[in-house]
Amino acid sequence: MVLSKDKTVIVHLNEDDWRELAWIANGFGKNVFTINLRDPDFTTPVQRIAVIAVRGDVVALSLGRSLGRSGDLDTRVKFSHVHVLQPAALEAVIEKMKLNSYSSMVDTIETGGLLPQATGRKFFDALSELSPESSRIVEKLRALQLQHTSEMTDHHRLLEEQRDAVAVSLEVAGIDSRSALQNWEVPPANAPFLAGLNPGGTSEASLIRHDATQFENWLRIEGQIYDVVEFVDPHDPSRKVTIAYADKEPLERVTGTDLIYFRHQNPGYVLVQYKRMMQRSGEGSPLQWLYRPDGQLTEEIRRMRQISVSGTSQGVGQWRLSQEPFYIKLCEDLMDRPGGRKLTKGMYFPLGLFEEILESPKILGPKGGKGIGWHNAQRWLSNTGFIELRREGWIGSVGDVTSQITALVQRALEGDRGVILARDDSQFTERRRIGTRRA
């Protein structure tokens, strides 16, 4: 598996920015440098080894990561552990790499961007011939990067799960999540995803007022509320979603994410529990993404099955193709935000289907262990399929089942999972048909 941390980024700085960075790197102050760059390939908070070039010469090596957008075009980038080199011409490095002159990697090196893992190794091998001290520096940076990654991986995974839960909630309401979340910034350490949408913070009194007006008739929240954010479609004010994050544990002790989605019009719940697939290999088989069911899942399903899903619909608007309110989403265990996509790639399973899959011989490994992945899950809902069914009101709880789930949701806050609470107050007045889209 190749993660963003395994890639190398080439960054070209102007001379003024480089003079400031070199001043810091030579010991005058803290060895950290933050600047705005115009559309660099720093789209995730993952730390990468950064090659810093000025006027066609490699002048330094460092670690770099994105701090989020600082405007429509600029991204704020933080460099740390900056090591100044004796300048080495990029042209000479490219020549020693023996790249085809028409290779896209030549253009990337000359103008800036990401180098794949194998090309990055070639780059550093060539650079070491021109600048021998670079080998020692690269080794040191990789050690620092590995230490940082081990400390931050769980936090990044949780942020990605929370981002996806927020994005799903917006898409169901018909709000473009890519646009709504475009100004998100990486939040402080151990802060949840919503904190990055409101860097200035929200006062406690404001939260209490907002919470009382938005959630008092739906859910009595006993967990810690980090923030409450209201999203309104700028093109259609009737589409509105209020999203809160709650848990009872500090984020570093939170083990996963639940999405609890409640639609006010024709009241009903859909609850999504996120589970992570890890890359594993069987006997003689290649690496595959697999989720291994465990005792925690068994207990979670037991609690879910205490709720009857056969509620009584109250009119046409509450008739469902499925009254199943519980869903599992399996996601690949990657730290990266999905490039160019609104949602994290994954598989949605209604709980009943997931229970059938758990009993299927197709998920048994060579030694009898169970593992669910893309290759053997057989049937699931895609992001698009799940969103469309929920948006049109074809799935979700009905009638008195909704009040039973409210009690279950309150108990969920007693565990070690962060809860994304989404209340959809959108008003849909037009007739709905499966497969149709709003203009």
Q: Where are the domains of the chain?
A: 4-131, 153-424
Residue 410: both structure tokens together = 């309150």
At residue 379, φ and ψ (nearest 5 deg) are -140, 140
Helix-strand-coil split of the chain, %, nearest 5 = 35, 30, 35
Each of the 439 residues of the chain gets a pLDDT tens digit; together they read: 234 457 888 888 888 878 777 776 565 444 666 777 765 555 556 778 989 999 999 998 988 877 766 666 667 777 888 888 889 999 999 999 988 777 888 888 888 888 888 899 999 999 999 999 999 999 888 877 766 555 556 777 788 888 999 999 999 998 999 888 877 877 766 778 887 775 444 444 444 444 444 554 555 554 455 567 888 888 888 888 888 887 755 555 555 678 889 887 777 889 899 998 887 654 445 568 899 999 889 988 888 887 766 666 667 777 888 888 899 999 987 645 544 457 888 999 999 999 999 999 999 988 889 999 999 999 999 999 999 999 888 898 887 777 777 776 666 556 666 788 888 888 765 444 545 444 3
Name the CATH architecture for the domain at 4-131.
Answer: Roll (3.10)
- Give bridge partners of residue 314 from the DSSP assignment: none
Whole-number pLDDT of residue 205: 41
User: Which residues are CB-neighbours of 342 under 8 A, at least 6 positions away?
Assistant: 167, 171, 176, 177, 178, 383
- Give bridge partners of residue 307 from the DSSP assignment: none
Q: Are 131 and 86 in contact (CB under 8 A)?
A: yes
The Cα 185–Cα 380 span in angstroms is 32
The Cα 364–Cα 323 span in angstroms is 30
**Beta strand 287-290 with 268-281: parallel, antiparallel or unpaired?**
antiparallel
What amino acid is encoded at 299 in this protein? E
CA 413 from chain centre, in angstroms, equals 21
**pTM for the full predicted model:** 0.63
What is the Cα Rg of the chain in Å? 25
At residue 278, φ and ψ (nearest 5 deg) are -105, 155
User: Which residues are CB-neighbours of 181 under 8 A, at least 6 positions away?
Assistant: 163, 166, 167, 170, 197
User: Which residues are CB-neighbours of 96 under 8 A, at least 6 positions away?
Assistant: 126, 129, 130
Go through 80-116 and write b for each residue having 16 or more CB atoms within 10 A of its CB, e for each that does not: bbbbbbebbebebbbebbebeeeeebbebbeebbbbe
The Cα 300–Cα 324 span in angstroms is 15
The Cα 198–Cα 183 span in angstroms is 9
Q: Is 251 exposed, middle or buried (0-12, 13-18, 19+ CB in 10 A)?
A: buried
Distance between the two ends of the chain, CA-based, in angstroms?
Answer: 40
The Cα 334–Cα 329 span in angstroms is 14
At residue 430, φ and ψ (nearest 5 deg) are -80, 160
